[in-house]
Structure 1
Amino acid sequence: MTLAALTAIYFVHLAAAMSPGPAVLLAARTGLRDGFQRGIWLALGIGLGAVIWAAAALFGLALVFKIAPALLTTLKIAGAAYLLWLAYKMWRHADDPMDDEIPDLPRTRSAPRLIWLGISTQLANPKPAVFFGTVFLTFIPPSAPAWAYAAILGIVMFNDAGWNVIVARIFSLEKTRAAYLNLKTVIERCFGGLLALLGLKLALS
């Protein structure tokens, strides 16, 4: 496994991590609503979810999907249902009032809950599994040593978590947050609508 191959994997995966999707959407929303600290916890969960998909691909999940395509279809339907449920919650609570000040992490939105939200959002979308099982694996030779697998999983964690930390930071800035507070209902319903569209796209693709 050469440095050039690892560099190629880094940039190919970074492009995938930066592409708009449910995880990036939730990172932006969390930064807006709940601040940068909560966005970091969510981003860590998103990174861990990506690592799970990458590890599954490295250990043969792509072959399982090829042998049993119905499994991928089932995952798509389940993932779409989960994303639609999140979209419904956003839409339903869009007009709930919100304080200007960001409090400390309450129990209902604790760090473990945010990490789990990030993981579950990633796992609900099987498209990363398709990416890791096709494009991603073409850069990895069958004889790659164990250290290369560890390095690759580290790259996946760094890219997915790091990019979503950046997204959460951008959307947690004071000017962005002030604009959000003035247009909370509209923005929340836009987020919910986009998430619903992503869920429908996943189910129909």
Structure 2
Amino acid sequence: MAEPLEFLSATLAFAVIAISPGPANLAAASVAMATGRARGMRFALGLGLGLFFWGVLAAIGLGAVLQSTGWALTMLKIVGAAYLLWLALQSLRAAARDDATTVARATPRRLFLAGLMLNLSNPKAIFAWMATLSLGLGGGGHDYVPLMLLCGLIGLANYIGWVAFFSTGVMMRAYMRARRWIEVGVGLLLGAAGLSLLRSSANQ
């Protein structure tokens, strides 16, 4: 069985990775400001499910296989980069329009699927899981199950926290006043993340 200190260290490491700004957290903030809390929570649930999928994959050992299979990891990075660049383009196009971004009119189902797809196409998620699960946990694979469940809940709570904060009235009013600049900023940051992932795939 894993030592309590090892378990705590792995959990804290995952929490730090989860709350740090990245494409998923950035998208959660943007969607929350544009659509409000109720719809933003659907997006957060999709992100949480996508993150948990990678956790299950890592816990059963397929994550290590994926990491060691060059062509599969390269393809995943290319798909993830393409999706991030597509999201970046949508944000930049929204900034060029006079009306509010189309994400504000997206259905809850589409927002859930968008969040799910964002984390399913994010290979950085599996690296976070592999780093967490390899932090000296002893015993067999059953040691990973409670850690995976706890970290999955931490990841979901993180997304919910981002949505809850950025869907407040103050943040939504700020978004409406500075919508174009926010959309441009989100687009540029997502584009930079996509290009970085694309460069990583080329060096794989």
If the TM-score is normalised by the length of the shorter chain, which range does it land in?
0.7 to 0.9
Matches for 1:14-93 after TM superposition, within 5 Å: 14-93=15-94
- Per-residue deviation, residues 2-61 of structure 1 (Å, max 9, x unmatched): 433332222111011012111001110011101111222211111111111111111122
CA distance in 2, matches of 1:144, 1:68: 21
The normalised TM-score by structure 1 is 0.86
Offset at residue 129 of structure 1 (A):
1.1
Q: What do residues 159-192 of structure 1 show as CA deviations (whole Å, max 9, x unaligned)?
A: 1111111111221121221121111111111111
Which residue identity does 2:107 align to in structure 1? R
Bigger shift: residues 58-67 or 160-169: 58-67
Partner Cα separation in structure 1 for residue 43 and residue 167 of structure 2: 13
Partner residue, 2:99: 97
Q: Which amino acid aligns with 1:77?
A: I
Q: How far is 1:98 from its partner?
A: 3.2
d(CA) in 2 for partners of 1:96 and 1:109? 21
From 159, 163, 166, the equivalent of 2:158 is: 163
Instruction: Give per-residue Cα distances to partners, 1:125-183, cap 9 Å, x unaligned.
Output: 101212222443234324243xx443223212211111111111221121221121111
Q: 1:67 to 1:169 in 2, by over 3 A?
A: closer
What's 2:114 paired with?
117
Q: Any idea what the Cα deviations from partners look like across 1:76-98, whole Å, max 9, x if unmatched? A: 11100011001111111223413
The one-letter code sitting in structure 2 at the alignment partner of 1:79 is G
Q: Deviations over 1:91-132 (max 9, x none)?
A: 112234139xxx9xx6x422x322221121111110121222
For the 8 Å contact 1:58–1:137, the answer to whether it is kept is no
Structure 2: how far apart are the matches of 1:42 and 1:114? 5
**Partner in structure 2 of residue 10 of structure 1:** 11
Query: Post-superposition shift, 1:197?
Result: 0.6
Determine if contact 2:51/2:119 at 8 Å carries over to the other structure.
Answer: yes
Q: Is the 8 A contact 2:33 2:175 kept in 1?
A: yes
Which residue of the other structure, out of 132, 146, 151, is the alignment partner of 1:151?
146
Distance 1:185 1:201 in 2: 24
8 Å Cα contact 1:47/1:159 also seen in 2? no
Q: 2:191 & 2:170 partners in 1: Cα distance?
A: 27
Gaps of 5+ in 1: none
Task: Tell me the amino acid that sits aligned with residue 55 of structure 2.
Answer: A
Q: Which runs of 5+ in 2 are unaligned?
A: none
Cα distance in 2 for partners of 1:82, 1:98 equals: 22
**Cα 1:139–1:55, aligned 2, differ >3 Å: closer, same or farther?**
farther
For 1:75 and 1:66, the matched residues in 2 are separated by 10
CA contact (8 A) 1:17 1:160 kept: yes
RMSD over aligned Cα atoms: 2.1
